[in-house]
Amino acid sequence: MSETYIIRVEARFEAAHNLREYYGKPEPLHGHSWKVEAKFRCDKLNHEDFGVDYVVVEKAIRDLAKRFDHVYINEVPPFDKMNPTSENIAKWFYQELDKPEVRQEYVLEEVVVWEGPEAYVAYRV
């Protein structure tokens, strides 16, 4: 039987945004308490009996989240040009975390972006 481990890390930030197009017009400016989760999969442990190095992935997700903490997301690239939907934010985090230097030799399974405690978007490839 093969083993699978899922390693999950998260980061939080407070930020404002507004959708540029929301049923044909800009949405009012508003803020959220955001949470981003990343889930990595490994099918075997290394010689020290761990999967993904928490130090690497925690630093990466927290550094990315810091870009948005206490700012207006619409002014932060690439969301200065792209509609800052939760879907686009989740995809952006996924693309940034799916780099070999972050995920190491493991698989980034999913990124989840919470727009507060009751609503989230999950992005997978």
Domain with residue 118: its CATH number is 3.30.479.10
Mean residue pLDDT of the chain comes to: 95
Tell me the three-class secondary structure of 38-50, residue by residue.
EEEEECCCCCCCC
User: Cβ distance 19 to 84 under 8 Å?
Assistant: yes
Say what the pLDDT of residue 1 is: 66
Structurally, the chain folds into a number of domains equal to 1
Say what the pLDDT of residue 105 is: 83
Say what the pLDDT of residue 85 is: 97
Known binding-site positions = 17, 30, 32
Say what the pLDDT of residue 52 is: 84
User: Cβ distance 17 to 74 under 8 Å?
Assistant: yes
Range of 16's domain? 5-123
Known binding-site positions for Zn(2+) = 17, 30, 32
User: Cβ distance 51 to 45 under 8 Å?
Assistant: yes
35-70 residue pLDDT tens: 999 999 999 888 898 888 889 999 999 999 999 999
Residue 104 scores a pLDDT above 70: yes
